[in-house]
Amino acid sequence: MHNKVMGIDLGGTSVKLAILSEKGELLQKWSIPTDSSDHGIKIMPDIIGSIKHHLDLYQLTSADFLGIGMGSPGAVDRSEGTVTGAFNLNWRDLQPVREIMERETGIPFFIDNDANVAALGEKWRGAGGDNDDVVFITLGTGVGGGVVAGGYLIHGTAGSGGEIGHMTVDPDGFECTCGKKGCLETVASATGVVKLARKHAEEYAGDSTLKSLIDDGQEITSKMIFDFAKDGDALAVIVVDRFSYFLGLACSHIGNLLNPASIIVGGGVSAAGEFLLKKVNKHFSGFAFPNVQQSTKLKLAELGNDAGVIGACYLVVAHAEKC
């Protein structure tokens, strides 16, 4: 009894759910579509319906669970268990998520923001190797981050701890959606890499397939840019080197401040893999304090899409351990 945990990764297109043992073994995994119509009014009932259905299916009851953890977009109030301003869910107003979940399931509920929860997943069961000092950077449509220091997630005084995507890496750079200039997100997200490519294409005069595609008005993706760079396309190599410089610089600041055992890079853009990591490492080493260079390792994320559900489970486990 009380030896299982459930994790929920709430996203704009789907809700992923998983049941793990408290040691972290994945027992069951499923997902449902996110119905964000009518201000997202169906989201919580859909999740609860799906949980009840699966508990029946696996012949489990609330007594089997230590707790349910959830990673959510938007502004999460961990102590109140509420979410506000999750625009990709159409949740504008305050959502009393914990109150609904605990009333409907009878299982203790814990919540944090999605980037933090993914960081916990990689720390616990992914590339972090369950070390207590791990930083996670996710490079996707945006750039998110989560910091685990001394075994605890860092939230900061107003919840903006770990906003790695908004570290300034290029003070005179592109404008960011947050209102600043030159945030890491403006150069290292999927759209950021494309913006970098367009900028360098204007200045570049030599031979390059990437340049001819851009000049021809073709749609460019970050994957294409990394693939061209792997093939030695001269402009793509310049763009990937600039990208790696900015990411390496950000990682060095993180390393110098926190000296984590690992800085884990995940998300769609990181699919470029070791090729990318090697280039980032070169710049990281140049900027990092010598002892940080030696002891903080840059790594690729290992859990992919499962980081969220696994980290959500760890919210429960970590709470139980620290009680």
Contacting Zn ion within 181-210 (CB under 5 A)? 183
Taking the complex as a whole, the smallest distance from the CB of residue 144 to Zn ion amounts, in Å, to 12
Question: Does residue 304 come out as left (phi exceeding 0), alpha (psi in the -120 to 50 range) or beta?
Answer: left
**CA-to-CA distance for 78 and 98, rounded, in angstroms?**
9
Q: Which is nearer to Zn ion, 25 or 175 (CB)?
A: 175
DSSP 265-303: EESGGGGGHHHHHHHHHHHHHHHS-HHHHHHPEEEE-S-
Closest Cα to residue 298, out of 320, 275, 278, 315? 278
Cβ 182 to Zn ion shortest distance, Å:
8
Name the one range near Zn ion by CB under 5 A: 91-99, 108-116, 165-173, 218-226.
165-173
| Of 180, 230, 297, 319, the one binding Zn ion by CB under 5 A | 180
Determine if 315 is a binding residue for Zn ion (CB under 5 A): no
Residue 169 engages Zn ion in binding (rule: CB under 5 A): no
**164 within 8 A of 145, measured Cβ to Cβ:** yes
Stretch that binds Zn ion, among 62-70, 85-93, 161-169, 230-238 (CB under 5 A): 161-169
* Binding residue for Zn ion, selected from 16, 125, 166, 242, defined by CB under 5 A: 166
112 three-class SS: strand
Query: What is the total count of residues that contact Zn ion (CB under 5 A)?
Result: 5
Residue 243 Rama label (left phi>0; alpha psi -120 to 50; beta):
alpha
At how many degrees (to 10) do helices 234-258 and 273-287 cross? 50
Nearer to Zn ion, 125 or 166 (CB): 166
Q: How are strands ordered across the β-sheet holding 143-149?
A: 152-153, 143-149, 134-139, 262-266, 297-300
**Looking at beta carbons only, is 151 or 159 nearer to Zn ion?**
159
Q: Of 27, 57, 94, 178, which one interacts with Zn ion (CB under 5 A)?
A: 178
Q: Quick one: CA dihedral 298, 123, 9, 168, positive or negative? A: negative
Between 120 and 169, name the residue whose CB sits nearer to Zn ion. 169
Residue placing its CB nearer to Zn ion in the complex, 180 or 297 = 180
CB closer to Zn ion, 189 vs 270: 189
Query: Which positions lie near Zn ion, rule CB under 5 A?
Result: 166, 176, 178, 180, 183
